[in-house]
Homo-oligomer: A and B are copies of this chain.
């Protein structure tokens, strides 16, 4: 069903005073769809509809809303209402929401939280952005190692409703150190008198609060996890991260890489909601940098002006040479950057990758050069030596482009920089200069200019 239809239906029910049918209806619509239906609508209408939502649904809907709507809703609420909303929300969603709010709203929320929640929120807000700590939730099932299966099941039945997941439970000792995991699957078939220590899986994969979210996501993927425990510097269990948040992280990280690789500063903001100024701000610095770098290529042309003026036809092959170099280089750099990001290639593989790329370059370059040679002979009325000059330049350019396309991202990674900045635009600028240099030198040699 389209968002507009959902909104129309819900609004009509409310306007007709059919609150009972409204509540019945919303319980059958996924919360994310309700949240989207309310997006970019009149704030008063949104607040009014939101307040009519059943309690168990409203917290879910709230967590899917945009910062703007969240703000309008919280500002319209009484302190008690805020408290109830926060009670229903998971801690990771609360923190995500607060990170986007102005100080006034954060203060209102913290004032209305109980002491324990407040100190947890403060703790979570302190973790650096994109760290495991900032991503985790504190609502997980912890079981002491001496618990029996019966006691563990009682514990889950009693407290599970407020937990983000009950399917993997975490076994801890007296010091809250992580010992292992027990799945609910195992609990429901295990004999009731066995202890957690007997049935747990020891040595679980875990993350530290300070780990980067990208590394955590790689472990999720590698080990097919549903959730991962997060421990602090003293190895005490402090939270868990669930796979639904990791799916979002993976898409975010991919989007960031796409943006960096196209010479833009990454942004969390939704494209359609970003202002024109924000977008321009993320793009102009890179365009400027690359424009200035490209003047070096221009300087090479200026240096060989005499060659060009004695044979102006050479100019018309410059775009083809530059584009072919740029495309060959970006094929390689994108391949390398992607494989580095997925952890399938490490910096120590650099010579292996370079050797592979150089052989690919010779094959690609030779084919392109041959096709170009024949094409120029047949369709362009130029001397055979000019065809040869252009074709040899193509071959050399492709080889250099693929070499640079491999070495730059690998080098960036080695230096602790993000390889993604060494993508097509940067490579193109460097390869252009090399391509033209080779072209003119070959022209001087072969054509005696």
Contact = CB atoms under 8 A, between A and B. Distances in A.
A335 interface: yes
A290 B424 contact: no
A316 B299 contact: yes
B344 A261 contact: no
A324 B356 contact: no
Given A189-B157, A250-B247, A323-B429, A316 B334 contact: no
Contacts of A339: 271-272
B331 A319 contact: no
B344 A316 contact: no
B330 A317 contact: no
Interface in A306-333: 308-309, 312-313, 315-320, 322-324, 326-328, 330-331, 333
A57 interface: no
A352 B272 contact: yes
B247 A330 contact: no
Interface residues of A, number: 111
A279 B328 CA distance: 12
A327 B425 contact: yes
Contact of A166 (B185, B250, B352): B185
A426 B432 CA distance: 17
Nearest to A153: B188
Contacts of A425: 323, 326-327, 330
A345 B432 CA distance: 34
A327 B34 CA distance: 39
A5 interface: no
Nearest to A224: B244
A313 B221 CA distance: 55
Given A263-B331, A288-B371, A335-B262, A319 B160 contact: no
Contacts of A322: 319, 322-323
Nearest to A277: B363
A122 B288 CA distance: 58
B367 A327 contact: no
A248 interface: yes
A100 to B, nearest CB: 18
A226 B247 CA distance: 11
A205 interface: yes
9 contacts: A28-B202, A157-B189, A160-B189, A221-B251, A224-B247, A247-B247, A279-B360, A283-B364, A319-B436
Interface of A: 28, 30, 32, 153, 156-157, 160-161, 166-167, 184-185, 188-189, 202-203, 205, 220-226, 243-244, 246-248, 250-251, 254-255, 257-259, 261-264, 270-272, 276-277, 279-280, 283-284, 286-288, 290-292, 294-295, 297-299, 301-302, 305, 308-309, 312-313, 315-320, 322-324, 326-328, 330-331, 333-335, 337-339, 342, 344-345, 349, 352-353, 356, 359-360, 363-364, 367-368, 371-372, 375, 394, 398, 424-425, 428-429, 432, 436
